[in-house]
Amino acid sequence: MTDWIRVAGEHELAPGESRVVWDGDTPILVVNFDGRFHAVLDQCTHEDYELSAAPFDAATGELTCLLHSARFDVRTGEARCAPAYLPLTVFPVKVEDGAIWTRDDR
């Protein structure tokens, strides 16, 4: 299993904000949804397109892919509408010593 990757200080990522970190060659998108941090693979499951460019809806917790408007729940990775049917890969997140951490645990 890989080491944890530091994302940011806990107070550096405000609600509604996101940041991409890399665990080796894996881009991980970390989002602050209403004070809770969630991490998903920064890649739409419909087509290989980065979700970090996608708008985040702070009311619903959804990312909407700019390429074909597929929507995903950042909490569960669930695909919410076509053309995406497969969920996003979700990664663990921890807050420790005032910092946000994640990793590719596959």
The domain locations on the chain are 5-102
**Amino acid 1: pLDDT:** 53
User: Rounded to whole angstroms, how far apart are CA atoms 78 and 8?
Assistant: 25
**pLDDT value for 48:** 87
Q: Which CATH architecture has domain 5-102?
A: 3-layer Sandwich (2.102)
HSE at residue 82, side-chain half, CA atoms within 13 A, is 0
For residues 99 and 58, what is the distance between their CA atoms, to the nearest angstrom? 22
Residues 6+ apart with CB under 8 A from 28: 5, 20, 21, 22, 39, 40, 41, 42, 91, 102, 104
Q: Is residue 32 classed as helix, strand or coil in its secondary structure?
A: strand
Q: What is the pLDDT of residue 19?
A: 97
Residues 6+ apart with CB under 8 A from 37: 7, 13, 30, 31, 93, 95, 100
Low-confidence ranges of the chain (pLDDT < 50): none
